[in-house]
Amino acid sequence: MSKTIWITGAGSGIGKALALAYNENGNTIILSGRKKVQLDEVASLLSSSYVLPLDVSEEQAIATVVAEVEAKYGSVDILINNAGVSQRALVTETSNEVGRQLMEVNFFGSIHLTKAVLPLMVKAGKGNIVGMSSAAGKFGFPLRSYYSASKHALHGFYESLGLELKDTDIHTTLVCPGRIKTDISKNALKGDGSPQAEMDPGLEKGVDVTVCAAKIKRGIARNKSEIYVGGGEILMIYFKRYTPWLFRFIAKRVSPK
Active-site residues, by number, are: 147
Alpha helices in the chain (DSSP H): 13-21, 36-43, 59-73, 96-103, 109-124, 145-164, 184-187, 201-204, 209-221, 235-242, 244-251
Q: In what order do the strands lie in the sheet with 4-7?
A: 49-51, 28-31, 4-7, 78-81, 127-132, 170-177, 226-229
d(CA 246, CA 240): 8
Taking a C-beta distance cutoff of 8 angstroms, is the pair 63, 116 a contact? yes
Provide the 8-state DSSP code for 104. I
φ/ψ of 48, rounded to 5, equals -145, 115
Provide the 8-state DSSP code for 106. I
SS3 165: coil
Taking a C-beta distance cutoff of 8 angstroms, is the pair 66, 45 a contact? no
Measured from the Cβ of residue 119, the count of other Cβ atoms closer than 10 Å reads 12
**How many residues would you count in the chain?**
257
Ranges assigned E (strand) in the chain: 4-7, 28-31, 49-51, 78-81, 127-132, 170-177, 226-229
